[in-house]
Structure 1
Amino acid sequence: MFVRQHILFSSLLASTLLTQATLADIAFSSPKAGATIKGSTIDITFADGPGDPSINDFTSYTLQLCAGGNDADSYTPILTFTDKGDLSSPDYPAEITSLTIGGNTKNAYFLRTIGVAPGGTVINYSSRFTLSDMTGTFSPAVEAGLADVSGTDGPETDNQIANPQNAAVAPGASAAAGGPEYQVPYSMQTGVIRYAPMAVRAPSKITAKGDARQYPTSDYNIWLRTGMPAPIPTQTITDLFTYSVQSMEPTIAPAPQPSDDMQKFLNRWKD
């Protein structure tokens, strides 16, 4: 009985490891796990992972520097290097614009790519490394996330193409608030589920001048003929509000109803 359970456990473990391996797509060969980087430049090198999609299939990617834990709510992107990256070149020298945006805690940092490919979005993470010349501090949430970190592994890959069930969202549910899915421009998303950014809070004043689009327009097709393929998107999920709204009841008494000749005139039309 013990031998049978051991074989079953070993089979499940091997299957899990194989599944995780096939989810790889964009791999980071630099910086190395546990590396200590001095100065304000990070030499980043991409490599093609063993799984789908191929690095050549990505149309663009967003590259960010993140700090914190491995859970979605325990780390934050503190710097975006590019939001229109091109993977035709495997090397990317990333420049940190300010050394005050974070601390120098050991293995606090990792890189995140949000890649767009036919069929969906793929989010990859690098191993952890240290930026020893940073002079800033982290937020309490990031500090709490780092307290739970051991080792140099970053968060797990979120591959909606190789692992479509990750893209499935139950009715009434949503991706993590502020998650990387919402940071991909809507017109660049290709999966069956699209993610829209948080609605902008209404201003206190409305002006008729200087209005501009917050996001660029996207292409659309009008489905007029029968027999045409169904549109790819099946659902759009909007990011949750991170601000609160308070409503107040007006305390000014309403104006009284007219009682003069105008009221008598209006009463004629009651029917």
Structure 2
Amino acid sequence: MLLHPILIILASIVTVLAEVNITKPAQGDSFSGSGGTATVDLQWDIDNSYLAEKVTNYTVLLCAGQDQSIDCQEKPLISGSSLKADSKSVKLSSDKVANGEYFFQFYIQYPGGVASIAYSYRFKLTGMTGANSFTAPISATGPPPSFAFSYPVDSSLHSVPYTKQTGVVRYAPMQSQPGSKVTHSTWSRRFPTSSVSYYSTYRSRPNVLTTTTIPWTYSRTSAANWASTAAFPTEFYPASSRVTKASLSTAAKKKRWLDI
């Protein structure tokens, strides 16, 4: 199952917003199918519990290839209608898959046809005896594909105070429309500032990826200035009327101030 070109275009311009954070398999993990089955541990966390409750369906597929040539098997390894933090042991028959580099794809659906995608790190399968059924290269290495598309936006989230939000996507209210005149004599902070914390160890992704703001619902109007251009001046100051250089008396130069 090749990824549709339109999805690739969307994926290239939209920030990663999937609420699934896949923690296993880890980068560089290797699993052997020499005993007839390769058992791969799959574990994931939920970054945004509110969005997870909106999920109508999700599937986990086995994929291979680079970002520009992703190919996934059509039969889901895992599927469900209730998404929550979980761990699964995925069993891959050695005679169904060839040796190579693979990763898992989470395809998550929401009401209204909205969907998002998340990918695991690449892992290696060894001891497999099956033929390669992927059109994408199964020798591709490197970081996992890191994109998602068409993330859901619930207007009610924009009313939740920013400091109380916990997801990787934060929501801000609409910017206030400026009035026709200034009515305040002193300034005041409208919202509390968020706390600052620093990473003490390396992490593959930040806690917050982006903030969305409700678009303005009003329009601004402008008008052209049709006033005629002023003519060039017709007379100039003569050189004799230039300002002469100021001078001070000897007594004034000795003082450290000027009498005004």
**TM-score interval for Structure 1 and Structure 2 normalised by the shorter chain:** 0.3 to 0.5
Normalised by the size of structure 1, how large is the TM-score?
Answer: 0.43
Q: Which protein is bigger by CA-based radius of gyration? A: 2
Flag the structure with higher helix content. Answer: 1
Normalised by the size of structure 2, how large is the TM-score?
Answer: 0.44
